[in-house]
Amino acid sequence: MTNPWTDIKNTDLAIVMGGNAAEAHPCGFKWVTEAKAHRGAKLIVVDPRYTRTASVADYYAPIRPGSDIAFLMGVIRWCMENDKVQWDYVRNYTNASYLVREDFGWSDGLFTGYDEEKRDFNKESWDYQMGEDGFALTDPTLQDPRCVWNMLKQHVDVYTPEFVENITGTPRDKFLDICAMIGECSAVDKTMTSMYALGWTQHSKGAQNIRGMAMLQLILGNIGVRGGGMNALRGHSNIQGLTDIGLMSNLIPGYLNIPTEKEVDWQTYLSTREFRPLQPGQTSYWQNYPKFMVSFLKAMWGDAATAENDWAFDYLPKLDVPAYDIMRMFELMNNDRVNLYFCQGFNPLLSIPDRGKVTAGLSKLKMLVVMDPLSTETSHFWQNHGAHNEVDTASIQTEVLELPTTCFAEDEGALVNSGRWLQWHWPGATPPGEAKHDTWIMAQIWTRVRELYRTEGGAFPDPIVNLSWDYADPGEPTPAELAREMNGRALAAVTDPATGAQVLQAGQQVSGFGQLRDDGTTMAGCWIYAGSWTEDGNMMARRDNSDPDETGMYLNWAFAWPANRRVLYNRASADMAGKPWDATRPLIQWDGAKWGGYDVPDIAPTADPSTVGPFIMNQEGVSRLFSRGMMRDGPFPTHMEPFESPMANVFNPRMRGNPVARVFESDVARLGNSDEFPFVATSYRLTEHFHYWTKHNRVNAALQPEFFVEISVELAEERGIANGSRVRVFGKRGQVWAKAVVTRRLQPLICDGKPVHVVGIPLHWGFMGAAKKGWGPNSLTPFIGDANTDTPEFKAFLVNIEPATEEPVA
């Protein structure tokens, strides 16, 4: 989230698209209720299903799963055409005026540079025209046909209301009503907040869905302001922390990159990370990258990381592929390339697509170690449960070890919420039975592995034997020790480069990432967490809920990264002179000498508004309506069909799904077509359950005891399915049996003149736990992910459905 949950109360219009906050985030949804009650805010829901969020919305419109980009580009077109634009913001705070290279273009659904063989774009032309001085060329009058604004206008021209209706199935009048409601928020005293979740991410073009709304928010001037923002409602209490701390295979903590094998040395690695400003005098904050990276390497290898050995850069693994994401891991398992798999706090048998492939992969392992508080489906993948897990146990030779871990309520530490707040919590119970903290298990394994390398050596033992492991009990680092390490501390005296004054003594905790250095005098495990545990103590444990003037910022409650800032890009809440756009909702302002206000300014405290642009994390100092080469599938979002869709791509019928999303060869034959599987399926969560955990709890299991699928009255009639009867839902990759819920919550959508039926599949059942046995949607979903993030396409795929005439033997 760019803004905290508590800020949603400041909005005038909440649009929930790609999520179902009332059901999946009921506690956070109270801030929408606040905004409705106290500001008279409106709520719009756009979703294939009429959800609980829709039931309290002012306006609901249905949409075909996987067609959100067409909807969003249509809204952008409508705003441009109807002058619903925050012009000062667009001209000054976005790259609307930047000139795009002459050789960039778009046709047949593809941007320039497409290589069908490689399934990739050559992105060279996706860039600005550059001046000889190295700065980007702009046309502040927005007259040049090559400026981003005019390129965008041209790009969205095709997304007329008629086009949007045809693609999305959203009735034109509803689409236009929503456009009008959104358009009002281009006024400086009206803001809209976008609340989305996995309904947008779990698509083969998920990142572009989010880009589409982010662009709309920029055009409306709604980024950086109170009651605005792009707000990703995370699906797990600490999934924000997971990405922060670098559990993505291509990232290290704080969104730094694991080097690729082309980055053979430290100099090469840094050469592509210069982040030179594209405007004179602009702050380009990522120019501090080496400070964060060196501090990370010092946290990893301590005294073994020196200037002479390039801070032990060679110790880092080098990626030979873009990422070892989870689908690649299961592909490798299926190819006999993985022997041992550690599965920690994760249930892939139900959460990775194409379950048949997951089972086949796990069956090829020599050993599977499952660390989990619960006895999961994954740890029992080899056990035959009839139709619910049809495996030949005798043929599976994988050895499975279950290591019971503690659950969150038995742990101490910080959870990072969607609003980037690190909130410290304390254990509420003693671990049962043999359950151990994850940290204990990992430390015990680690110390033994290190001992093996110490005594037996190996091809390259250095990164392992030299790893910094500076804990009072090497067998169990404490949460406090780990948190202090992530915050970072001085390893030698640290001085202010401007004045020469000493700011830190050796051993002192840094108070913020501004104190990190690239000369080896500081260490920090996760630079964005700097400031969370300072010399003043554990900032994450703060519980002061005072909120001067009720802005919703709560600066003394816990700690928000970065720098305790609550609203990202908050510099953009003020105009070019530094005065708040909306005097009734100030966030920060320029007093002629410095920035101050209710939030920690997202700009240097003394940066003059007339010289430094507000988006300091971009080299341009402005936000990007045109994203240059940052995304693999295009600098503007363009409509793409899901890989399995009832419709061909209207721009290019040959194009299946996202043209640059990775498809493993073995999966091509496992994709279905609409002649065989005519119905669109989508998956979702229910309020009574949390993922696959709560079915182990009898109360939750009693509240939602049984796997069901939802279908419309029309589809039920067409297929002869009675409400409450048993159905078989089947696709190219698998089949499930479920109880049919025939409901008006789902309606057939008319796309290109033909009805599209949607089958809704909730995700909470398996064959372990207290609830009745069932299946997850992953028995049916394709092994395909987003082109940028590899997030699986769980939200749009094809199935067929029929009354279950025969029941399988359970």
Which residues contact another protein by CB under 8 A?
22, 26-27, 29-30, 33, 36-37, 40, 42, 50, 52, 55, 58, 60, 386-388, 698, 701-702, 705-706, 724, 726, 737, 743-745, 770-773, 807-808, 810
Q: Which is nearer to another protein, 17 or 736 (CB)?
A: 736
Q: Are 251 and 257 in contact (CB under 8 A)?
A: yes
CB of 54 to another protein, least distance (A): 8
Q: Are 547 and 316 in contact (CB under 8 A)?
A: no
State how far the Cα of 54 lies from the Cα of 31, in Å rounded to an integer.
Answer: 16
> Which residues, at least 6 apart from 704, have a Cβ–Cβ distance to it below 8 Å?
686, 688, 689, 764, 771
CB of 42 to another protein, least distance (A): 8
Give the angle 224-229-231 at the CA atoms, nearest 5°: 140
Rounded to 5 degrees, what are φ and ψ at 797? -155, 175
3-state secondary structure of 22: helix
Q: Are 416 and 448 in contact (CB under 8 A)?
A: no
CB of 23 to another protein, least distance (A): 11
CB of 809 to another protein, least distance (A): 8
Q: Which is nearer to another protein, 28 or 635 (CB)?
A: 28
CB of 62 to another protein, least distance (A): 10
DSSP classification of residue 477: -
Q: Which two tokens stand for residue 369?
A: 């170690």
Q: Which is nearer to another protein, 235 or 514 (CB)?
A: 235
> Which residues, at least 6 apart from 249, have a Cβ–Cβ distance to it below 8 Å?
258, 319, 323, 324, 325
Q: Are 799 and 678 in contact (CB under 8 A)?
A: no
CB of 33 to another protein, least distance (A): 4
Q: Which two tokens stand for residue 168?
A: 């999305």
CB of 175 to another protein, least distance (A): 15
Q: Which two tokens stand for residue 618?
A: 């971009």
Q: Which two tokens stand for residue 324?
A: 């070892």
CB of 243 to another protein, least distance (A): 25
CB of 404 to another protein, least distance (A): 21
Q: Are 421 and 558 in contact (CB under 8 A)?
A: yes
Q: Which is nearer to another protein, 33 or 789 (CB)?
A: 33
CB of 740 to another protein, least distance (A): 13
CB of 700 to another protein, least distance (A): 11
State how far the Cα of 538 lies from the Cα of 558, in Å rounded to an integer.
Answer: 9
CB of 736 to another protein, least distance (A): 10
Per-residue DSSP letters for 28-54? TTHHHHHHHHHH--EEEEE-SS--HHH
Q: Which is nearer to another protein, 458 or 724 (CB)?
A: 724
**Nearest CA-CA partner of 94 in 620, 720, 774:** 620
State how far the Cα of 724 lies from the Cα of 728, in Å rounded to an integer.
Answer: 13
What are the start-end ranges of the E strands in 471-630?
489-490, 494-495, 502-504, 522-523, 533-534, 537-538, 559-560, 588-590, 595-597
> Which residues, at least 6 apart from 500, have a Cβ–Cβ distance to it below 8 Å?
none
Q: Which is nearer to another protein, 26 or 474 (CB)?
A: 26
CB of 173 to another protein, least distance (A): 12
Q: Which is nearer to another protein, 60 or 598 (CB)?
A: 60
86, 92, 581, 584, 613 from 575: Cα distances, Å: 11, 9, 6, 14, 11
Q: Which is nearer to another protein, 26 or 432 (CB)?
A: 26
Q: Which is nearer to another protein, 170 or 405 (CB)?
A: 170
Q: Which is nearer to another protein, 118 or 744 (CB)?
A: 744
Whole-angstrom Cα Rg for the chain: 27
Q: Which is nearer to another protein, 101 or 726 (CB)?
A: 726
CB of 61 to another protein, least distance (A): 10
Q: Which is nearer to another protein, 296 or 775 (CB)?
A: 775
DSSP classification of residue 645: -
Q: Which is nearer to another protein, 733 or 745 (CB)?
A: 745
SS3 annotation, 197-266: CHHHHCCCCHHHHHHHHHHHHHHCCCCCCCCCCEEECCCCCCHHHHHHCCCCCCEECCCEECCECCCCCH
544, 676, 736 from 716: Cα distances, Å: 54, 18, 17
Q: Which is nearer to another protein, 42 or 542 (CB)?
A: 42
Q: Which is nearer to another protein, 27 or 669 (CB)?
A: 27
CB of 185 to another protein, least distance (A): 18
How many Cα atoms sit within 13 Å of 163 on the Cβ side? 19
Q: Are 186 and 79 in contact (CB under 8 A)?
A: yes
